[in-house]
Structure 1
Amino acid sequence: MKRRRSFPVKSISLRLRLFFVIVAPLLVMAAVLGVWRINAAQKTAEELFDRSLLAAALAISRDVILSDGDAILPSTRDLIRDASGGEVFYHATGPGGIYVTGYAYPPVEPGRGNSDLYEPSFFEATYRDEKVRVLRVTERITIENLTGDATVTVWQRIADRAEFVRLLVVRAAALIGGLLATLILVVWFGVQLGLRPLTDLQEAISIRSPDDLSRIKRAVPAETRGIVQTLNHLFGQVERSIEAHQTFISDAAHQLRNPAAAVQSMAVALRDAPTEEDRLKRTEEMVVAARAAARVANQLLSLDRLRFLSPEDHNTRFDLVADVRQICADTAPAALSRGIDFELDAPSAGIWVHGDQLFLSEAVKNLIDNALKHGGAGLGKVAVTVTADDGQVHVTVADDGKGLSPGDREVALGRFTQVAPSDGSGLGLAIVASVMERHKGDLTINTVTQGASITVSLPIVTNN
């Protein structure tokens, strides 16, 4: 099964991420505010200039009445020019349409009816090839003995209004831009200041030596305490793993030293054997010692491999009953040659499990080997039983030897430890326990009146 390769993904820094997260809404808000300000400036300009036109029209109408149709006052003309923000054109007629003052040809409003004659009327028109805004006001007046309608028309270039709007927009844009630039600078340096505890934490970790796995005790913000706690937990796990690995290496070296020394001593004795009979005897002893050393080495390698056994390695589906039958067939001759009864009680139908077949077979072999090695001089029978219930398959290895109780579990399952002295390495049951843990199984030391009984259990898989 091919494993997918993972490639590192380059991501932006946390500072840039926070900067964009904060500034992006500000930019959107600035754009919305800018559009609103443009619309507000246009509306403000229209209201302001229309009121200026209305004030100019009323002032001109007043002066026409006061001067009996002669002209408008110079002060009114200056007031109109100063208050309007741009040049104002005007045209005034008295009763009967008699021209009074102003420009000769005012813009004409198309389609105006008589029903709203005395209502002020705003409209847009063209005057001297320029767009203008026009106000027309008609009032009923009496000049000397003549009574009639007086009409005042005032207008102003729309370009003047547009220039006023432009000035308002420029000022608003400058204000918004200044505020936005200030906020961006504050956010940029504020984020840097806010992330300083993380930077300090990074520097504190980076200056540590590879051997320093002590807890991080630096004060950090509440938002990063979870990260620090996770790191401390990870450091603790790594430290315990390293300590366990170092202990394992030390124990392994100690366990391998004795068989190696025995092989070396027997080799010397074989070399110096005075007779052929002694030479053959020393040769047999050296073979036994070499086998013991190889057994210890293989068990140590099995324990080391178990540390790196992943769930992907548990994909083999096999018949555990057939596997146990083969193991018993291979082991029974050695037991029978020692005068030990060896029995197997297993169902005829297969029972299927998922897992690493090599390690599971090794676990069953170790259970049988443990019974043969630790049963003592009084060992007379070893029985292997395979049963199934509630979705579990159980393999039990029982003997009538020295005995093993559930209270001895910690010592019996420990590495390089034994309940009683024997020629074993103290790794067999430790390997069985590790295999069961990796395969989500169980190891149980049963309570029996005589001997020892150990059961391993695994989940059953269906045929589909």
Structure 2
Amino acid sequence: MRVREPSLFSRLVIRVGLVLLIGASILITAAWYYGQTAANKTYDQLLRGAALQIADGITQTNGELIVNLPPSAFELLGFAERDRIFYRIVGLDGKAISGYPDLHLNDDLLAARHSPELETTEYRGAEVRVITVARALSDQAHSGWAYVILAQTTEARRTLASEVTQGAMLIVGIMVFLGLVGTYLAVRYALQPVTKLAYALRLRNPEDLTPMQTVAPQELQPFVEAINHFMTRLDQRVIRLQQFIADAAHQIRTPLTALSAQVSMLDENRMSQTDRERTERIKIRTGELVQLTNQLLSHAMVIHRSGVIKLEKVNLVDVARIAFHHTIPLTVDPDMVISFEAADPSLIVNGDPISLREAIANIISNALRHGAISRLDVRVIQAGQRICLEVEDDGPGIPPEKWDQMSRRFNAMSPKAGAASGLGFAIAAEVALAHNGLLRFKEKGATGFTVILDIPCAGENPS
């Protein structure tokens, strides 16, 4: 089973699309990280400012701490409307003097004396961001450190990070979409020379095997050169094949014709009965050899012209009439009734007149040799959008169960053929196929057995 390779277009689009998707994933991840960092930095600054303001509001008078919670500190944190705020103020003796006494109990507060400490933890079932700020206090009665522990839930910062990430995803998504559309259009435009090259090859005359002069991009030049090299070699082979067929037709037909003439000139009156029987067999075998040789050469010619010769509009009536006159021998039995009829003097098909003439001649020759007893009718008629050449004879015909075998090469034609076999129907079937037609048979009826060459009218499926 032949594996179908993907097109260059799909390969390029898929690969560029994968690069864009990988780049988009990296950008979205970077945007998520940036959103998290920006949100934490923004709200950490607010949290730090609020904690420092609360710390600045702690004073000591005669050894007693006085806590003044500034409203502005909570106003800063109020920008995050959905977040909750927790705080604890630790006095000089290490005991909580205000706020939530269970907030951040087990942490070492000494590190906050150097700089505010920030961390993320969990409090009362919610994730919180906690900052610890230390403030040194001293008076005549007592001195020491007071601590402000301020916590804020992280809903607002998660929302901000999500909004930043979604915005980045939207922008990246738009850019990826535009990139894919641009890639599709660019690749389609870039591959146009390939389509043009294929179109130029398709329109090329089958007989034209000269090198192509189509302008192609640099990447396609090796391909064009390979095609030109192949066509040059093919042209040389076709020339040699044509020369061989011409030589074979001349070198084989001439001595066979002479041999047939010499055999026919033998004087049988001076021969014995045995010699006359041998001479008759020689005549039969010589005739069969001439027929088979002509059919082999005809078959070679038909195969060569099929797919090479460009079909043209031809009058099938004229072609059939020429084949009829060339095939009916002058020595035909004078008692045999032979007729040619055409429903219309001009029935046009798209075809090769030489191949059609060979096909029709072989059908008529088969009818004469293996079918007709006293009557042979050749008709050209039109049936709808089809033109049919019918060859009818009053012979025994071919049984329907053997019709599918008749187009095979070297198949016996009928009981009348004896040892003879040939290529007549095989040639006709190949010509019909090359003309988008078919060779078919009509069962023997009251009038006789009919072989039909069925071809579309001109304009239907032209080559």
TM-score (norm 2): 0.52
Match of 1:18 in 2: 12
Match of 1:434 in 2: none
2:161 is the alignment partner of 1:187: no
2:243 is the alignment partner of 1:231: no
2:171 is the alignment partner of 1:175: yes
Alignment of 1:328-343 (within 5 A): none
2:261 is the alignment partner of 1:265: yes
Alignment of 1:32-47 (within 5 A): 32-47=26-41
Question: How many Å apart are 1:244 and its aligned residue?
Answer: 1.2
Match of 2:395 in 1: none
Over 3 Å counting, the alpha-carbon distance change for 1:99 and 1:267 in structure 2 is closer
2:148 is the alignment partner of 1:155: no
Deviations 1:210-241 (A, max 9, x none): 32333222211111111111111112222221
Q: How many residue pairs were aligned?
A: 286
Q: Check the 8 A contact 1:94/1:151 in 2, yes or no.
A: yes
How far, CA to CA, are the matches of 1:12 and 1:40 in structure 2? 40
Q: Check the 8 A contact 1:107/1:125 in 2, yes or no.
A: no
How far, CA to CA, are the matches of 1:110 and 1:257 in structure 2? 117
2:48 is the alignment partner of 1:51: no
Match of 1:383 in 2: none
2:132 is the alignment partner of 1:136: yes
Query: Of the candidates 21, 28, 40, which is equivalent to residue 27 of structure 1?
Result: 21
Question: How many Å apart are 1:143 and its aligned residue?
Answer: 7.4
Deviations 1:250-289 (A, max 9, x none): 111111232023213313432499899xx99xx8xx99xx
Moved more, 128-137 or 21-30: 21-30
| AA partner of residue 20 (structure 1) | I
Q: Check the 8 A contact 2:135/2:146 in 1, yes or no.
A: yes
- Secondary structure of 2:198's counterpart equals helix
Question: How many Å apart are 1:15 and its aligned residue?
Answer: 0.8
How far, CA to CA, are the matches of 1:42 and 1:187 in structure 2? 33
Over 3 Å counting, the alpha-carbon distance change for 1:148 and 1:263 in structure 2 is same
How far, CA to CA, are the matches of 1:65 and 1:85 in structure 2? 31
Moved more, 226-235 or 159-168: 159-168
| AA partner of residue 50 (structure 2) | A
2:93 is the alignment partner of 1:123: no
| AA partner of residue 239 (structure 1) | D
Over 3 Å counting, the alpha-carbon distance change for 1:89 and 1:116 in structure 2 is closer
Over 3 Å counting, the alpha-carbon distance change for 1:263 and 1:38 in structure 2 is same
Over 3 Å counting, the alpha-carbon distance change for 1:53 and 1:76 in structure 2 is closer
Alignment of 1:46-445 (within 5 A): 46-64=40-58, 69=66, 71-82=68-79, 88-92=85-89, 95=92, 103-105=99-101, 107-112=103-108, 114=110, 117-142=113-138, 147-271=143-267
How far, CA to CA, are the matches of 2:231 and 2:252 in structure 1? 31
How far, CA to CA, are the matches of 1:108 and 1:203 in structure 2? 79
Q: Check the 8 A contact 1:45/1:161 in 2, yes or no.
A: yes
Q: Check the 8 A contact 1:69/1:143 in 2, yes or no.
A: no
- Secondary structure of 1:214's counterpart equals coil
Mark the runs of 5 or more structure 1 residues left unpaired by the alignment: 1-6, 305-464
Question: How many Å apart are 1:42 and its aligned residue?
Answer: 2.9
TM-score (norm 1): 0.51
Bigger relative contact order, structure 1 or 2 (CA pairs below 8 A, ≥6 apart) = 2
- Secondary structure of 1:133's counterpart equals strand
Deviations 1:188-214 (A, max 9, x none): 221111111111112222223332333
| AA partner of residue 151 (structure 1) | Y
Moved more, 136-145 or 174-183: 136-145
Question: How many Å apart are 1:28 and its aligned residue?
Answer: 2.5
Q: Check the 8 A contact 1:137/1:152 in 2, yes or no.
A: yes
Over 3 Å counting, the alpha-carbon distance change for 1:95 and 1:180 in structure 2 is same
Question: How many Å apart are 1:66 and its aligned residue?
Answer: 12
Q: CA RMSD in A?
A: 4.2
How far, CA to CA, are the matches of 2:271 and 2:109 in structure 1? 147
Question: How many Å apart are 1:136 and its aligned residue?
Answer: 1.0
Question: How many Å apart are 1:131 and its aligned residue?
Answer: 1.9
Over 3 Å counting, the alpha-carbon distance change for 1:18 and 1:125 in structure 2 is closer
Deviations 1:409-431 (A, max 9, x none): xxxxxxxxxxxxxxxxxxxxxxx
Match of 2:343 in 1: none
Q: Check the 8 A contact 1:139/1:150 in 2, yes or no.
A: yes
